[in-house]
């Protein structure tokens, strides 16, 4: 079956919220750590939208605010001013318990460490968050994810019986299974060799394309960024540039230009 046919055969994960709707948004988002001499403005009035069915890479020098932006958008860190939205929900309006529920139901996470439980099989790891939430995974959707991620023959394996790339794909499947509004990935290929990394990025790209997922990925790697639909460049807590349909060379050139500017200013 072609990829587009696969996408059409499945019900949309968020009926009434098609590709292009806003999955997450920050408006005038600022984040300040510390005070007085230790004060750091990690984010300075950032406004950005992440649209459904779009794969965004966030790049920028060390300390530019990439992780902070992701953590604030995902409701993992408080914000100093501005507002953040996941789907239709303003994060600032939620209490702790509601925020925990929103993260569980609407946000998927993929980190550099796979965070799989060693005693559970791949399938059990994939469905664990939904089991904890007392929800039943949609079997058709689960089947589509497992096929897309090439995990069909590995579901009964424990993490120790899987390669690093396969473990990371299990982590991606786990993030996709609850049909989150948005998936945040922090250097998801950081621990993988280049072939497994390329494979994983291909699968992320495919989940956006065929499964209409929304992915925001922090990376330092121009090749990884080239799998995204757009790249946002952060510097000193601000979005300073955006590139659509990036190639690794174009991303690298843009980063070099920033470095050169940094040295002369």
The residue among 68 and 178 lying less far from ligand ATP, judged by its C-beta, is: 68
Residue count at the site for ligand ATP (CB under 6 A)? 12
C-alpha angle 9/11/12, rounded to 5°?
Answer: 120
Q: Is residue 154 a contact point for ligand ATP (CB under 6 A)?
A: no
* 42 is a site residue for ligand ATP (CB under 6 A): yes
CA 241 – CA 194 distance, rounded (Å): 27
Q: Strands 215-218 and 55-59, how do they pair?
A: parallel
Minimum distance of ligand ATP from residue 46's CB (angstroms): 11
If one asks whether residue 34 binds ligand ATP (CB under 6 A), the answer comes out as yes
- The reply on whether position 222 binds ligand ATP by CB under 6 A is no
Q: Which of 21, 22, 40, 223 binds ligand ATP (CB under 6 A)?
A: 40
Q: What is the C-alpha to C-alpha distance for residues 25 and 45, in angstroms, rounded to an integer?
A: 13
Q: Is 34 helix (H, G, I), strand (E, B) or coil?
A: coil
SS3 110: strand
Spatial distance between the Cα atoms of 162 and 14, rounded to a whole number of angstroms: 32
From residue 111 to residue 150, the character string flagging contacts with ligand ATP as x (rule: CB under 6 A) and all else as - is ----------------------------------------
Q: Are 106 and 86 a contacting pair, CB within 8 Å?
A: yes
The answer to whether 208 and 55 are in contact (CB under 8 A) is yes
Q: Residue 33 interacts with ligand ATP (CB under 6 A)?
A: yes
Single residue of 46, 57, 65, 255 touching ligand ATP by CB under 6 A: 65
Measure the CA angle with vertex 25, ends 19 and 26; round to 5°. Answer: 165
Query: What is d(CA 137, CA 265) in angstroms, rounded to the nearest whole number?
Result: 53
Site for ligand ATP contains 63 (CB under 6 A): yes
CA-to-CA distance for 188 and 198, rounded, in angstroms?
11
Measured from the CB atom, is 60 or 137 closer to ligand ATP?
60
Q: What are phi and psi of 178, to 5 degrees?
A: -85, 10
- Of 65-73, 126-134, 145-153, 246-254, which segment contacts ligand ATP by CB under 6 A? 65-73
Q: Which of 25, 52, 66, 154 binds ligand ATP (CB under 6 A)?
A: 66
Closest distance between ligand ATP and the C-beta of residue 153, in Å?
A: 35
68 binds ligand ATP per the rule CB under 6 A: yes
Q: How far is the CB of 32 from ligand ATP (least distance, A)?
A: 9
Binding residues vs ligand ATP (CB under 6 A): 33-34, 40, 42, 60, 62-68
């Amino acid at each position: 079956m072609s990829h587009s046919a696969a996408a059409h055969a499945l019900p949309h994960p968020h009926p009434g919220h098609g590709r292009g709707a806003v999955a997450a948004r920050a408006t005038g988002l600022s984040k300040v750590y510390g005070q007085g001499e230790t004060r750091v403005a990690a984010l300075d009035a950032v406004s950005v939208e992440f649209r459904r069915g779009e794969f965004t890479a966030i790049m920028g020098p060390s300390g530019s605010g990439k992780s902070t932006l992701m953590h604030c958008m995902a409701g993992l860190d408080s914000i100093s001013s501005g507002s953040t939205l996941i789907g239709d929900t303003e994060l600032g309006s939620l209490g702790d318990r509601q925020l925990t529920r929103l993260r569980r139901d609407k946000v998927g996470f993929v980190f550099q460490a796979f965070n799989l439980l060693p005693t559970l099989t791949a399938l059990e790891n994939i469905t664990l968050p939904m089991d904890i939430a007392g929800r039943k995974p949609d079997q058709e959707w689960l089947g589509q994810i497992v096929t897309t991620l090439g995990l069909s023959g590995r579901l009964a394996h424990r993490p120790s019986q899987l390669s690093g790339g396969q473990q990371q794909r299990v982590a991606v499947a786990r993030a996709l299974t609850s049909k989150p509004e948005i998936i945040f990935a922090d250097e998801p290929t950081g621990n993988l060799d280049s072939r497994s990394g390329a494979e994983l990025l291909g699968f992320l790209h495919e989940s956006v394309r065929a499964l209409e997922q929304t992915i925001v990925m922090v990376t330092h790697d121009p090749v990884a960024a080239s799998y995204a639909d757009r790249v946002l460049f952060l510097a000193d807590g601000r979005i300073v540039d955006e590139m659509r349909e990036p190639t690794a060379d174009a991303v690298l050139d843009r980063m070099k230009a920033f470095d050169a500017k940094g040295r002369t200013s």
